[in-house]
């Protein structure tokens, strides 16, 4: 699970590098990746397609991934993201 601030475009680019380093860790090999695109309630929030592009997620072919728009303060989108993650983990067994 990885949380990004959808409204901070400058940090999103830095986050892309950090995420790439995390995913290169052999301990995380073949694990599903859930990206919570937080702060979707803000006017300047990037939409999920933009986040997919900035994080270069379409290049990931060795693991399932999903970007879930959310607002952590209100809880919108959190349950849906966790449901996706549970389904993916169960499918691995």
The listed CATH number (2.40.30.10, 3.40.50.300, 1.10.3720.10, 3.90.1150.10) that belongs to domain 2-92? 3.40.50.300
Answer whether 56's CB lies under 8 Å from 23's CB: no
When comparing pLDDT for 38 and 92, which is higher? 38
Q: For position 38, what pLDDT does the model report?
A: 98
Condensed to tens digits (0 to 9), the pLDDT of residues 44-88 reads 999 999 999 999 999 999 999 999 999 999 999 999 999 999 999
Reported pTM:
0.94
Q: Residues of the chain with pLDDT > 90: what percent?
A: 90
Please, what is the average pLDDT of the chain? Answer: 95
């Amino acid at each position: 699970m990885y949380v990004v601030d959808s409204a901070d475009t400058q940090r999103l680019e830095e986050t892309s590098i950090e995420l790439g380093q995390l995913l290169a860790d052999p301990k995380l090999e073949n694990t599903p990746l859930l990206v919570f695109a937080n702060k979707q309630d803000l006017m300047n929030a990037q939409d999920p397609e933009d986040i997919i592009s900035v994080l270069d997620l379409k290049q990931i072919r060795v693991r399932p991934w999903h970007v879930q728009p959310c607002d952590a303060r209100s809880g919108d989108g959190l349950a849906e993201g966790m449901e996706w993650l549970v389904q993916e983990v169960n499918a691995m067994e």
